[in-house]
Structure 1
Amino acid sequence: MTDPTASFQASINEYWTERAPDYDAYQQRPERRDLDVEVWGRIWSAALPPAPADVLDVGTGSGHVARLVASLGHRVTGIDLADGMLEIAREHAARDAHPPRFLAGDAVAPDFPEGSFDAVVGRYVMWTLRDPEAAVANWVRLLRPGGVVVMADSTWFTDGFGNLYGDRPDGHLPLADARSIEEVADALRRGGLIDVTVTPLDDVLELDRTHGVAPGHDVQLQHLLVGRRG
């Protein structure tokens, strides 16, 4: 009998593998690339512990966040289940002075020993998690005492998620349907994080207004969500 969770996750992985080249090309647009590095560099630098720290980038995709965080002096591991994304991430990292390591891995259930990291980061990941609370609980387990989770995201599908990945099993991807960023913050709290804060990313919004967003998306305010292991 087919496991609906495994089948659904496989469809997500296939979607992002097929989309990887176009997704990466958008992120590498020359008119915006350096501005993104500057703005996001400030964002990650302010939210993360002092370098060098051990950082896990969940749902790393083509490695944009992992490589930027590594350039700040951190020891970074990026994981993803989409082979096409990992291939591109490794190609980019081969040119970096201090590259992250990129591994196949599940953002919901990362396979690392307890207390392996000082921080877990992710960008545009929370809405893609089949079980956000289980994912956050697993991230907390991976953190050392006082470690942080830092997530950048928004409410992308306020008009309805549709069938982007095909038939969605009941209860999966609950944050894809979020109407407020507070629903994402609450998932972090229920997963076991404390002192959760939500900060609007006005500088990113200004970049989006000036340079546009990916096809099929609307310009909207993104947020940085930060929570701490107790």
Structure 2
Amino acid sequence: MAMDGQMAVGENYGLRDEIKAYWSARAETFDRSPGHEIFSESEREAWHRLIVKHLGPGEGRRALDLASGAGVISHLMDDLGFKVTGLDWAEPMLERARAKANSRGRTISFHMADVENTMEPDRAYDVIVTRHLVWTLVDPEKAFAEWIRVLKPGGTLLIVDGDFVSASFAGRLVRRVMKLLERAGLLKADPMHAPGMAEIHTSILSRVYFSKGARADRIAALLKNAGFEDVRIDEDLRDVHRAQARHWNYLKALSRGLQHRYAISACKPR
């Protein structure tokens, strides 16, 4: 599929296809960016604390990692003793995830699937985890209904996400300065900002459900409507962000710190 800045467009080529193609193209450089892979033990430990805080210890419980990408969250869950299955619909991401698991001797299963129609059995998983997925959803109501279906009664969903659209005045100013410095060659650009990729990202973002920003309260309301209970919003991700920030330049770390990022946990009724 041709990428060179523009997604191939055919008669039956829609937004979901564009999203799939975008993440397939991102696979090659995905692990190079802090936040997409673990670059320090302090970050690994911070993630472990966050996961255990919301999901408890693994103890062999079955976990479904949705939009698993190159597998970083799957590996964190495996560290903690969960029996993990990762689903993604970008084959290049799955190839990298499988290779990584093999090289590390992990028994994580990775399969291709649509997160809004997983084809997984009813009541199959104790926990579901997603990171940076919800903001990309075309139909979150359908997705949340699917996720509650595959959870066991009493099972827990953990969403880690953020609002990557709306920003404060300070946030917009920092982004503008970063772009100017990148264009001037004074600041190393993120791999996402390779020629054409940022424009594709912006185009996709303008058409997904949360095109105005994936705010935690909106997601929580949709989860409740889908039948989840005990929905909790946790905005204290400072340990994770502090560990990641050590691998970014000052402006990138500042920009991240100004964003609305959060974890949301929710339970399926027993």
> Where on the TM-score scale, by shorter chain, does this alignment land: which range?
0.7 to 0.9
What percentage of aligned pairs have identical amino acids?
27
Q: Does residue 1:204 correspond to 2:240, yes or no?
A: yes
Q: Does residue 1:218 correspond to 2:225, yes or no?
A: no
Unmatched 5+ stretches in structure 1: none
How far did residue 42 of structure 1 move?
Answer: 1.2
Judging changes above 3 Å, is the alpha-carbon distance between structure 1 residues 163 and 192 closer, same or farther for their aligned structure 2 residues?
farther
Q: Output the CA distance in 2 between the equivalents of 1:73 and 1:102.
A: 17
Residues 55 and 75 in structure 1, CA contact (< 8 A), matched pair in contact too: yes
How far did residue 100 of structure 1 move?
Answer: 1.1
How far did residue 173 of structure 1 move?
Answer: 2.1
Q: Output the CA distance in 1 between the equivalents of 2:162 and 2:214.
A: 9
RMSD of Structure 2 on Structure 1 (CA) = 3.0
State the match for 1:113 in structure 2.
121
Q: Does residue 1:18 correspond to 2:55, yes or no?
A: no
Residues 57 and 77 in structure 1, CA contact (< 8 A), matched pair in contact too: yes
Alignment coverage as a number of residue pairs: 226
Higher-Rg member (1/2): 2
For 2:241, give the aligned amino acid. L
Among 47, 71, 78, the alignment partner of 2:79 is: 71
Q: Output the CA distance in 1 between the equivalents of 2:157 and 2:31.
A: 24
Q: Output the CA distance in 2 between the equivalents of 1:225 and 1:30.
A: 21
State the match for 1:174 in structure 2.
209
Q: Output the CA distance in 2 between the equivalents of 1:193 and 1:80.
A: 23
Q: Does residue 1:122 correspond to 2:130, yes or no?
A: yes
How do 1:1-230 and structure 2 match up within 5 A? 2-3=11-12, 7-27=14-34, 32-50=39-57, 51-158=59-166, 164=201, 166=203, 173-178=208-213, 180-200=215-235, 201-212=237-248, 218-219=255-256, 220-230=259-269
Residues 63 and 85 in structure 2, CA contact (< 8 A), matched pair in contact too: yes
Q: Which has the higher contact order (CA 8 A, sep 6+)?
A: 2
For 2:32, give the aligned amino acid. A
Judging changes above 3 Å, is the alpha-carbon distance between structure 1 residues 195 and 183 closer, same or farther for their aligned structure 2 residues?
same
Judging changes above 3 Å, is the alpha-carbon distance between structure 1 residues 190 and 98 closer, same or farther for their aligned structure 2 residues?
same
How far did residue 179 of structure 1 move?
Answer: 6.0
For 2:212, give the aligned amino acid. D
Residues 24 and 91 in structure 2, CA contact (< 8 A), matched pair in contact too: yes
Task: Kindly provide the CA deviation profile for residues 56-111 of structure 1, in whole angstroms up to 9, marking residues without a partner as x.
Answer: 00000110001110111111000001111111111110023433100001111111
Judging changes above 3 Å, is the alpha-carbon distance between structure 1 residues 55 and 176 closer, same or farther for their aligned structure 2 residues?
farther
Q: Output the CA distance in 1 between the equivalents of 2:24 and 2:37.
A: 23
Q: Output the CA distance in 1 between the equivalents of 2:102 and 2:42.
A: 22
Judging changes above 3 Å, is the alpha-carbon distance between structure 1 residues 30 and 155 closer, same or farther for their aligned structure 2 residues?
closer
